[in-house]
Structure formats: C-alpha cells, structure tokens
Amino acid sequence: MKDPISKKNLDGYGAPIIPWEKVHKRLQQRITQAPKTGGPDRHTAWLATTNPDGKPHVMPVGVMFVDDAFCFTAGPKTRKARNIAHSPNSVITIATHDFDLVVEGPARRVVDPARLKRIAEAFTEEGWKPTVVKEGFTAAYSAPSAGPPPWHVYEVKPETIFALGTSEPYGATRWNFQTSKHRE
C-alpha cells in the first residue's frame, strides 16, 4: 500500500500519533473472524452504505485484506449491493486488540477473473472455500446476510483510515491516501 499522503493526530489527551507501519503490519497479518482472535472476542467487520433515501445501512461482512484492499461479498439483491450500485461510498469498521479501525473509500465490484481468483485464494487460506464463477463467487455456505449465491465480490481501496488506540499508548490518528479526499 502506498504511504499516506497526510496524517493527523486526532487525540486530545497528548497521546502520540499511531505509527502507520504498525497499522499496515496488522492488516497484512489478516483479520480473521475465528473465535478468540480479536476484540472483544473475534474480529467483526461492519460495512456502512447509504440507502437511496440518504439513511445509513450497516451490516456485518466477512472482510479480507488482499493486496491493500478490503474485500467482501454480497448477493446482488441485498440492500448493501443495491446501495453500492447507487453510491459506492462506504465505510468498513473493524475492532482489533491494539486499535479500532475505520476505513473510508468507494466499494467497487471486482469482475476481473485473475483478481477474483486472488481474492478467492485469500479467503480459502482462512478456511472459507469460494469458487470463482462469472458473477463472482459461489460456495457451500456464506453469511446469512450475503443472500443466496452467486455473490458479487467487492473491494474497498482506502481513501482514509482512522485508527483509535485500544491499548497503550492509545491515541487516535487519521491517514489520507487520496488527494481528492484530503481533509485538514
């Protein structure tokens, strides 16, 4: 992943900036949903999208960090998939032992067969064995909120990431990765 173009300490209590290298290293270690792997008991990723009427929609998703993008699946008729088709703006949140993460960026549907294969391999390494099909993935099972197969595959390449420390030295830091979303 490219280095952030900017960073900002958001902590109001004097904690230092959380080092980006620490966050990036943690992401590369994979964030599984297996019990006893994260905070509070496992890692749960939440995807927030916007309904066409402007109201928020939040659902848990199985997310995998693959080649510096957060990847997940959704049935084409699910609310999250319909929301992404209307507006790709999304937020993914994940709690880990050292920090809670908030990732902002557009969700884009993956259709490239080589990229789908790479993402399927990453999920397989974690125990879920999807098969690549023209529409995306199919498998023996998925999350109930994913709807029936086949599932579309999406990826979010972060434009902004927030880390909120949950262990010493705590802190809160924001990194921007895109000039178009640069904030002060």
Query: What would the pLDDT profile of 12-45 be if each residue is shown by its tens digit?
Result: 899 999 999 999 998 888 776 665 665 555 568 8
Question: Domain for residue 182, yes or no?
Answer: no
Query: Are 164 and 12 a contacting pair, CB within 8 Å?
Result: no
Question: Domain for residue 36, yes or no?
Answer: yes
Instruction: Kindly report, residue by residue over 77-107, the tens digit of the pLDDT.
Output: 999 999 999 999 999 999 888 889 999 999 9
Instruction: Kindly report, residue by residue over 39-68, the tens digit of the pLDDT.
Output: 555 568 899 999 999 999 999 998 999 999
Range of the domain at 61: 6-177
Q: Record the pTM.
A: 0.90
Torsion of Cα atoms, 54 then 145 then 99 then 175, to 10°? -40
Question: Domain for residue 183, yes or no?
Answer: no
- For 132, list phi and psi in degrees, rounded to 5: -75, 130
Question: Domain for residue 149, yes or no?
Answer: yes
Question: Domain for residue 122, yes or no?
Answer: yes
Cα 84 to chain center, whole Å?
Answer: 14
Number of domains in the chain: 1
Question: Domain for residue 184, yes or no?
Answer: no
Q: Residue 127: its pLDDT value, please?
A: 87
Question: Domain for residue 11, yes or no?
Answer: yes
Question: Domain for residue 158, yes or no?
Answer: yes
Q: Residue 184: its pLDDT value, please?
A: 46
Cα 111 to chain center, whole Å?
Answer: 18
CATH of the domain at 13: 2.30.110.10
